[in-house]
Amino acid sequence: MAHRIFNFNAGPSTLPLDVLKIIQEELLDYRGTGMSVMEISHRSPEFDEINESAITLVRELMGLDDKYHVMFCTGGASTQFAMIPFNFAGNGQKGAYVDTGTWSTKAIKEANIMGGAHLAGSSKDNEYRHIPKAADLDVPANSPYLHITTNNTIKGTQWHYTPEYDGIPLIADMSSDILSHQLDYSKFAMVYAGTQKNLGPAGACLVVMHDDLLQKRKDGNPAMWDYRTYATKKSLYNTPPSLTIYIVKLILEWIKNQGGLAAVEKVNKAKYDKVYGMIDQYPDFFKGTVQTDSRSWMNATMRLPNEDLEKKLIADAKAAGFGGLKGHRSVGGIRISMYNAMTLEGVEKVLGFMDEFRKANS
């Protein structure tokens, strides 16, 4: 048995052991082809089955019909920051954006290059410690879309409501909380997520888009910058990141086999309760950095009483078999990332370690 640590990395992140074992089993000879998935043609029936299954499973798990296109784009979520305004804004039309820190700030920066962004709301004044309330948003009626970042991986906040504006397509960067809980995905015209947090390894960005929005894209775009290319060719216009799509398919099956989003949500809620339970019990030692009503189910961020203790905790944790607890370099502190593949056992064990650390150091 290989030595495996409890991996709390924020992305790329831990993958389910059962899925890694399937990959290992199928690696040298994928279903009698005598080749690995990395080596087969993306035009082969074997890959076609993988791609079709992935598309079908995304719709099924999200509860969406085939009015929604499922695409695998490359360039990560970051390329979507530019592709969205490139396809849907410009000519004086500005997408509306809510700035909830780091990633949404980057999305706004890219939109500004592509023709402008309207700031519909922000929690910058509060160092991004909360998600703005619906009443505080200012979304112009003629906005071509509203863009939000449902989970703020670095700041540790998450939207716990879905903003709705009649006739304005809602677009969400769900890179770090896609398929982590039950949600009415039909309220979104488009969701996208880099695969390396909740969906598999790095290499693709899942894009799910309603056909009504797709029809609004501008004509005359280069092929790889036009969503229609991905939608009509099922992401097979050029060579797709086939290994990543294969592993995403395995993750989607893993989610389905557990009982879908209801089952995943149950585990994630249990992890959330335990982590924030510790923060609430010892707020002078584990100082949560965000407002209670905006806490993320996926990335819990905290500071310790001083930076030396933070460094010591990270080093001691590593020695004890817990990796990835360091907060993002831009904010410091401690971050417990607990995506779908992180087990409740892993969370309980790291909290046990952290409690011992608190006792020994306070």
Ligand X SMILES: *Cc1c(COP(=O)(O)O)cnc(C)c1O
* Under rule CB under 6 A, residue 11 binds ligand X: yes
Residue placing its CB nearer to ligand X in the complex, 40 or 204: 204
How far is Cα 196 from Cα 63, in angstroms, rounded to an integer? 22
Among candidates 55, 68, 63, 81, which has minimal Cα distance to 175?
81
Scanning residues 150 to 169, which ones bind ligand X (CB under 6 A)? 153
* Under rule CB under 6 A, residue 76 binds ligand X: yes
* Under rule CB under 6 A, residue 276 binds ligand X: no
CB of 215 to ligand X, least distance (A): 26
CB of 73 to ligand X, least distance (A): 10
Among candidates 102, 158, 105, 164, which has minimal Cα distance to 134?
164
Q: Which stretch binds ligand X (CB under 6 A): 71-79, 222-230, 303-311, 326-334?
A: 71-79
* Under rule CB under 6 A, residue 245 binds ligand X: no
Query: Side chain identity at 99, as an amino acid letter?
Result: D
In this chain, which of 55, 58, 77, 354 binds ligand X, going by CB under 6 A? 77
Helix or strand run (H / E) with residue 300: strand 299-303
Q: In the bound complex, which residue of the shown chain has the CB atom lying closest to ligand X?
A: 76
How far is Cα 112 from Cα 210, in angstroms, rounded to an integer? 24
**Rg of the chain, C-alpha, whole Å:** 21
* Under rule CB under 6 A, residue 176 binds ligand X: yes
CB 62 within 8 A of CB 181: no
In this chain, which of 72, 103, 145, 276 binds ligand X, going by CB under 6 A? 103
Residues that bind ligand X (rule: CB under 6 A) add up to a total of 11
First to last CA, the chain: 37
* Under rule CB under 6 A, residue 78 binds ligand X: yes
Q: Which stretch binds ligand X (CB under 6 A): 12-20, 83-91, 172-180, 282-290?
A: 172-180
CB of 362 to ligand X, least distance (A): 32
Among candidates 243, 261, 152, 248, which has minimal Cα distance to 196?
248
Beta bridge partners of 171: 147, 190
In this chain, which of 99, 110, 173, 265 binds ligand X, going by CB under 6 A? 173
CB of 77 to ligand X, least distance (A): 4
In this chain, which of 85, 121, 132, 194 binds ligand X, going by CB under 6 A? 194
Catalytic annotation, residues: 103, 173, 197
**Angle separating helix axes 242-258 and 260-281, nearest 10 degrees:** 80
232-264 b/e (C-beta count within 10 Å ≥ 16 → b): eebbbeeebbbbbbbbbbbbbebbeeeebbeeb
* Under rule CB under 6 A, residue 244 binds ligand X: no
Binding site for ligand X (CB under 6 A): 11, 76-78, 103, 149, 153, 173, 175-176, 194
